[in-house]
Chain A
Amino acid sequence: MSNNTFFALVVRECKRMTSRPLYLFCMIIAPALVFVFFTTMMSNGLPTDIPVAVVDEDNTSVTRQVIRNLDAFQQTEITAQYNNFAEAREAMQRGEIYAFYYIPEGTTEQALASRQPVVSFYTSASYIIPSSLEYRDMKMMSEYASGALTRATLYAQGLSEQQAMAVLQPIKIEMFPVNNPRLNYSVYLCNTMLPGILMLLILQITIFSIYGEIKEETAKEWLSASDNNIIKALTSKMLPQFVIWFIMTLLYMAIMYGYYQFPLNCSFIAMLIPATLLILASQGLALFICAMVPSLRWALSLATLWGVLSFPISGFSFPYIAFPAPMKALSFLFPLRHYFLIYASQALNGLSWHYTWINYVFILLFIILPFFVVNRLKTFLSEYHYTI
C-alpha cells in the first residue's frame, strides 16, 4: 500500500512540475543553455589573435622584422599601427586594442652602437586574461629580439649555439603546468562554474517547489496524501527533481569530459559520485534553509546568496590562500568549495579519494542536514500561511 501512495505522490510532483513552464525553463533549458554558452565561448582554450597595436617610431628593417615576429604569435594579432604613444593609448581607452608595443626613434641605431636602447610594451591590465597573455608574448618577443643581437655577436666570436645560450642565460626556468599543459582556460573555469550554476538552480527550485505548496495552499493536502509522514512527502518531492538534476549533471560531464576532452585523470564514475553528492547536498541545504527560514522570500534570498557566493568562495578563480581569515572559515559552509577540492584532487591531479575524504564528509553533512529539522519543516507546512 505504502508503495502505491509513494508512487502517487511522485506522479503528483511530476504533474506539478509540468504545470508551469518555469520548471521546464529552470531545470532543463537554462542549465543546458549555460553549459553550451560557457563551453562554446571558450572552446579554443585560450583566446587567440588578441588585437594589439604597434607604435614604431624607428621604422627600420630591423624593427619591422620584430613586428612581423610578434604578429606571428598565436595569441597576438597586430590590428593597427599608430604614429605616437598618445594615439595608441586612446585606442586602448576605446577598447580597440588590449596592448601595444612601443619602439622609440633611434632604437636600431643605438642597438648597433651598443648604447642599449629601451623598447617598452603596455597592456591594459583592467582585462586580466588578455593582459597576461600579451605580457607573455611581448616579453618573449623582447627577450628574443635582444638575444638575437647578442647571439650574433657571440657567433661572430666563434661560439656554438649551446655555448652562446650558456653565456646569455646561465639559468633557464622550465615550467611544467601539471595536467593542463596548454593552460586551457575553459578547463579551469567550466569544471567549477557549470556545477555551480546547476547548484544555484537546485537551491532555488527546491525552495520554490516547497514554498509553492504553502503559497498555493496545497501543503495540507500534500501532507495528508503522504499519510502525514514528512519524510515520505519530502522524498517523493525530491526524487523526480533529483532525476532531472542527475540527467543535467550527466549532460555537463558529457560535454566537458566527453566532447571537449577535459583532463579526467580518474574514472568517470569517480567524478560522477561527487557530482551526484553535490546535487543531494544542494537539495539538503535548500531543505534546511526552508526549515530554518519560514518565509519564501527570505528563504529564496538566503539560498540565492549562498548560491551566488559559492562561486568566489570556492576559490577556483581568486585563490583561497588570499582570502581574509573569516572568509576562509566561512568557505567550509559551501558545498561547491568541497566539490572544487575533490575535482582538483581527483580529476585534475589523478589522486585517490583518500586525499579529500574530509571534503566528502562535509558534503555528506549537507545531505543529512534536513533530517535534523524535519519536524520544524512539518510544522511550517501545516501551519504557515503565505503573506506578501
Chain B
Amino acid sequence: MKWFIDILTVWFHELKRIIHDEGVLLFFFVVPLLYPLLYSYLYNNEIVTEVPAIVVDDSHSSLSREFIRKVDATADIKIIGQCADMEEAKEMMHHNNAYAIIYIPSSFANDIAEGMQTSICLYSDMSGFLYYKAIYSACTEVSLDMNYDIKAERLGGASERQIETFSYPLAYRYVPMFNTQSGFASFLIPAILILIIQQTMILGVGMLAGDERERLNKGETYYWTDNIKPVQMLFGRAGAYWCIYAVISVYLVCIIPDIFHLVHIWQWKTLLPFMATYLTACVFFSMALSILSRDRESLILVFVFMSIPLLFMSGLSWPVQNMPLIWKILSHLFPSTFGITGYIRISEMGALIPDIHYELTALCTQSVVYFIITCLLYRRRFRKNLHTADNNVC
C-alpha cells in the first residue's frame, strides 16, 4: 500500500510541476489545441474546385463552344479567358495564374462531321498535382458525355439502351471507399492528429527532464530523493503524462473530426484499447528520449523537423511497400508509424481489433522495450544523483 501511495505522491508532484511550467503547458495543451484547428481550417475545403483555365479555340464551331461551355460548367474548372493562339495563351497563363490551357484544334468539328476521331489537348501546370487531377477528370467527363451524344446521332434511331450497350459492352463503376470524396483534409488530418500526440509529448516531457537537469546543475535537489525507488518514480510520472494525454486524445480523436466533418466511423471497443496502447508507447518513448535532453529547449530543435519525415514514414502518402528497407526499419522505432496507420484504419476504414493486430502488437512491443530502457536509465541516473548528493555532503 505504501508502495502505491508513493507512486501517487510522485504522480501528484509531477502534475503540479507541469501546471506551474508555462513552457510545458504550451506543448501539452496549447499546441494540441491550436494546431489541429489551424490545419483543419486550412484544408477544410477538402477538394480543389474552379481551377482557372484558358481556352484556345481554333475550331470556332458550335461543337467546340459546347465543349467549352460544358467544361466551364463543371465544378472543377473555371474558364478565365480565350486566346487566339498558344503563345498568347501561355503568356496569359503565366500572368493570370491559370493552371491549364485547353486547346481545340481547327479540325475539331470537321473531323466529327466526317466521322473521324479528333482530339483535344490539355496542357497542365505541374506545380500542384491536384490541379492536374481536377483538369483531367473534368475534361474527360465532358468528352465522355459529348461522345455519347455524337454516337447517338451516328447510330440514328437506336434506343438509349442500344447505344449504351454498343459503346460499353462491359460497363464499369468506380467506388472510392472510406474517404469517399477523396478529400485532402480527410486524408491528412487524422495522421496529423496522431502525430501531434507523440511530438508534443516528446517536447513537453523533454522540457521537464531538461528543466530538472538544469536545476540539478545549479545545485538544486530533486523533490523525491527520499526513499522513492526509480520504478515508482517512473510509474508516477508516466501516469501523470498518460492522464493528461488521455484528455487531450479525447479532444483530438473525438471532437476535432466532429467539428470539421471528417470521416470517423470508429467503434469505442476498438478505439479505446488502441489509443490506450498508443499513449503508453508514446509515454515511455518520450521518457526514454528525455534522457537526451540537456536543457529545456534542445529537444525542440531535434524533434520538430522530424515531424515531416515521421509523417511520411507512416506510409500515408508514399506506400510502405515502396519504401527502401532502411527507412522501413527505422520507422519501426517510432510509435507514430503504427499509431497513424492504426488510427486511420479504425477511424476511416472501420477496422476492428483483428484488422490492426500487427499495429497493436508493434505498439505493445514498443511500450515494453521503451519501458525497460527508461527503467534502466532512471536507475542509473538515480544512483548517480545519490552519489553526487553524498559528495556534496562531504
A residues whose Cβ falls under 8 Å from a Cβ of B: 22, 25-26, 30, 34, 37-38, 40-44, 47-51, 89-90, 92-95, 98, 107, 111, 114-132, 135, 138-139, 142-143, 145-146, 149-150, 153, 162-163, 165-180, 183, 185, 187-188, 193, 196-197, 200-201, 204-205, 208, 215, 296-297, 300-301, 304, 307-309, 311-313, 315-319, 321-324, 327, 340, 344-345, 348-349, 351, 355, 388
Contact = CB atoms under 8 A, between A and B. Distances in A.
A105 B371 CA distance: 53
B119 A174 contact: yes
Interface in B161-179: 164-179
Among B124, B296, B321, B345, the most chain A Cβ lie within 10 Å of the Cβ of B321
B211 interface: yes
B175 A167 contact: no
Contacts of A128: 179, 182, 184, 187, 317
B249 interface: no
Interface residues of B, number: 107
B128 A26 contact: no
B305 interface: yes
B38 A170 contact: no
A149 B324 contact: no
30 contacts: A22-B301, A26-B301, A41-B323, A48-B322, A89-B177, A116-B168, A121-B174, A125-B180, A126-B186, A128-B179, A132-B182, A143-B172, A166-B115, A170-B112, A170-B118, A170-B150, A171-B118, A171-B143, A171-B147, A176-B121, A178-B123, A183-B126, A185-B129, A188-B128, A188-B129, A200-B304, A307-B304, A317-B184, A318-B43, A323-B45
Nearest to B22: A297
Given A116-B171, A125-B182, A170-B147, 14 more contacts: A22-B301, A40-B324, A42-B318, A50-B319, A117-B171, A122-B176, A123-B177, A128-B317, A146-B168, A169-B147, A176-B122, A176-B123, A188-B126, A345-B94
B253 to A, nearest CB: 15
A37 B42 contact: no
A114 B171 CA distance: 11
A168 B23 CA distance: 67
Interface in B10-44: 21-23, 26, 35, 38-39, 41-44
Contact of A127 (B136, B170, B319): B319
Contact of B175 (A120, A139, A313): A120
Contacts of B133: 132
Interface string B132-148: 11001001100100110
Contacts of B315: 127
Contact of A318 (B42, B172, B344): B42
A286 to B, nearest CB: 13
Contacts of A167: 115, 151, 154
Among A162, A179, A180, A308, the most chain B Cβ lie within 10 Å of the Cβ of A308
Contacts of B304: 200, 204, 304, 307-308
Contacts of A321: 48, 50-52
Contacts of A316: 127-128
A129 B317 contact: yes
B319 A130 contact: yes
Contacts of B143: 171-173
A207 B337 CA distance: 30
A319 B154 contact: no
B297 interface: yes
A300 B300 CA distance: 8
Contacts of B49: 322
A209 B81 CA distance: 51
A128 B348 CA distance: 13
Nearest to A62: B170
A327 B322 contact: no
Contact of B308 (A138, A176, A180, A311): A311
Contacts of B300: 204, 300, 304
Given A44-B322, A351-B94, A309 B120 contact: no
Interface stretch (B275-283, B349-357, B360-368): B349-357
A318 B184 contact: yes
B269 interface: no
B130 interface: yes
A174 B147 contact: no
A38 B312 contact: yes
Given A188-B126, A300-B297, A172 B118 contact: yes
Contacts of B323: 41
Contact of B178 (A126, A139, A165): A126
Contacts of A318: 42-43, 48, 130, 184, 188
B307 A308 contact: yes
A116 B169 contact: yes
Contacts of A50: 319, 321-322
Contact of A142 (B164, B170, B296, B318): B170
B348 A25 contact: no
Given A114-B169, A309-B38, A41 B117 contact: no
B341 to A, nearest CB: 6
Nearest to A154: B166
Contacts of A130: 319
A41 B324 contact: yes
